[in-house]
């Protein structure tokens, strides 16, 4: 395939670079996810400039562009070291699912505030005891007049402590086969009976959460699809998540590699740079090569998406490679500091950037599919090897 931008794509890239240089001048690299209210305002700026929902239909607030423009957007955001829109679950999962399954009234109600960052979404899929087995979920919804009454618990819900709405998979027919008894609801996170308990990670962030539903009354009209369609609707959600995941991950890895290169070029107090050490140079080169291999794998996946409308299987391989590369990369950065990497307080190197991301990277091989699960998927569904069990 031709890896060069078309004339229109090149113009879009130049426009985006110019806008970022004006609105996101090089800000300091700091540990943590940043102040959420500031990120929400930044999301509003991106929306006002036309960079949110690039591939969405124009009638729902998007620009109707091809996925190549989303790839360009992710590349340029990473190169500018700029954060993305904070409503990632809404943009990549809830929004496309509402477009595919929602009524016109639901689309008019939810899509614009989702795009401009006024309302944040979370995902209620995983449950304690069921792990990655979505069909084994036990959170129930019982119809009572014009409302569903929801009871149960979800876990590992990113942004739930900030969210206004949740895309929730519930069991509405306990007598049906487990895949057939599910339904898919939109739930107001501020409704009576919804309790969110943040789970503090090793970084100190409450990034994931538990959600408890105790007799939560959800309007009957808040269902996506029909009762029993929950599995099919959820697969739509996951398809869109995986369709954009590869480029998002490789863009993030490019950002981290660029930061690593910047780090090793900085002179130590004795005047020597880490990059003067050939062992360090080889290690950095390995991560740069890994980044390039992920990029070209994503180009192959993008070609499949453009030709068929369905993401290829490359996403599983990209996620597996990215998660392990990011752990190596952040560990390498910490090793550059030596004993100084253990310093805290005012003397912490790089304002704690590398300490934070090295700790955060420990979850990369667990979230969005563990490395063990992804290796099984690749072996069985891509390579056609016999099932492991």
Whether 177 and 145 have beta carbons less than 8 Å apart is answered as no
Catalytic residue among 119, 241, 287, 314: 241
HEC readout, the chain: CCCCCCHHHHHHHHHHHHHHHHHCCCCCCCCCCCCHHHHHHHHHHHHHCCCCCCCCCHHHCCCCCCHHHHHHHHHHHHHCCCCCCCCHHHHHHHHHHHHHHCCHHHHHHHHHHHHCCCCCEEEECCCCCCCCCHHHCCCEEEEECCEEEEEEEEECCCCCCCCCEEEEEEECCCCCCCCCCEEEEEEECCCCCEEEEEECCCCCCCCEEEEEEEEEEEEHHHECCCCCCHHHHHHHHHHHHHHHHHHHHHHHHHHHHHHHHHHHHCCCCCCCCHHHCHHHHHHHHHHHHHHHHHHHHHHHHHHHHHHHCCCCCHHHHHHHHHHHHHHHHHHHHHHHHHHHHHCCHHHCHHHHHHHHHHHHHHHCCCCCCCHHHHHHHHHHHHCCCCCCC
List Cβ neighbours of 288 (8 Å cut-off, separation of 6 or more): 257, 261
Catalytic residue list contains 307: no
Backbone angles phi, psi at 257, to 5 degrees: -65, -45
Closest-CA residue to 191 (of 159, 172, 217, 166): 217
The residues carrying an active-site annotation are: 241
């Amino acid at each position: 395939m031709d890896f060069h931008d078309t004339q229109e794509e090149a113009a879009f890239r130049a426009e985006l670079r110019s806008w970022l240089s004006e609105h996101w001048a090089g800000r300091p690299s700091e540990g943590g996810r940043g102040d959420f209210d500031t990120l929400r305002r930044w999301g509003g700026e991106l929306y006002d400039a036309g960079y949110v929902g690039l591939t969405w239909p124009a009638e729902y607030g998007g620009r109707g562009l091809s996925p190549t423009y989303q790839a360009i957007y992710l590349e340029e955001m990473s190169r500018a070291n700029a954060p993305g829109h904070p409503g990632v679950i809404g943009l990549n999962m809830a929004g496309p699912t509402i477009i595919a399954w929602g009524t016109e009234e639901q689309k008019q109600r939810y899509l614009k505030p989702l795009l401009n960052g006024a309302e944040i979404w979370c995902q209620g899929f995983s449950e304690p005891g069921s792990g990655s087995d979505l069909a084994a979920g036990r959170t129930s919804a019982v119809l009572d007049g014009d409302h569903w009454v929801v009871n149960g618990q979800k876990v590992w819900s990113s942004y739930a402590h900030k969210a206004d709405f949740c895309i929730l998979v519930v069991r509405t027919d306990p007598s049906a086969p487990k895949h057939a008894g599910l339904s898919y609801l939109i739930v107001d996170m501020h409704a009576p009976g919804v309790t969110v308990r943040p789970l503090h990670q090793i970084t100190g962030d409450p990034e994931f959460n538990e959600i408890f539903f105790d007799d939560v009354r959800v309007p009957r009209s808040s269902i996506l699809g029909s009762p029993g369609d929950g599995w099919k609707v959820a697969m739509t959600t996951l398809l869109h998540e995986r369709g954009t995941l590869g480029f998002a991950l490789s863009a993030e890895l490019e950002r981290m590699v660029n930061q690593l290169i910047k780090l090793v070029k900085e002179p130590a107090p004795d005047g020597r740079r880490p990059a003067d050490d050939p062992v360090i140079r080889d290690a950095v080169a390995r991560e740069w090569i890994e980044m390039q291999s992920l990029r070209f794998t994503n180009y192959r996946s993008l070609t499949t998406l453009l030709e068929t409308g369905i993401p290829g299987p490359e996403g599983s391989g990209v996620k597996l490679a990215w998660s392990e590369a990011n752990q190596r990369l952040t560990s390498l950065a910490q090793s550059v500091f030596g004993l100084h990497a253990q310093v805290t307080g005012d003397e912490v190197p790089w304002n704690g950037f590398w300490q934070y991301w090295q700790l955060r990277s420990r979850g990369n091989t667990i979230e969005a599919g563990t490395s063990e699960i992804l290796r099984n998927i690749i072996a069985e569904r891509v390579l056609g090897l016999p099932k492991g069990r």
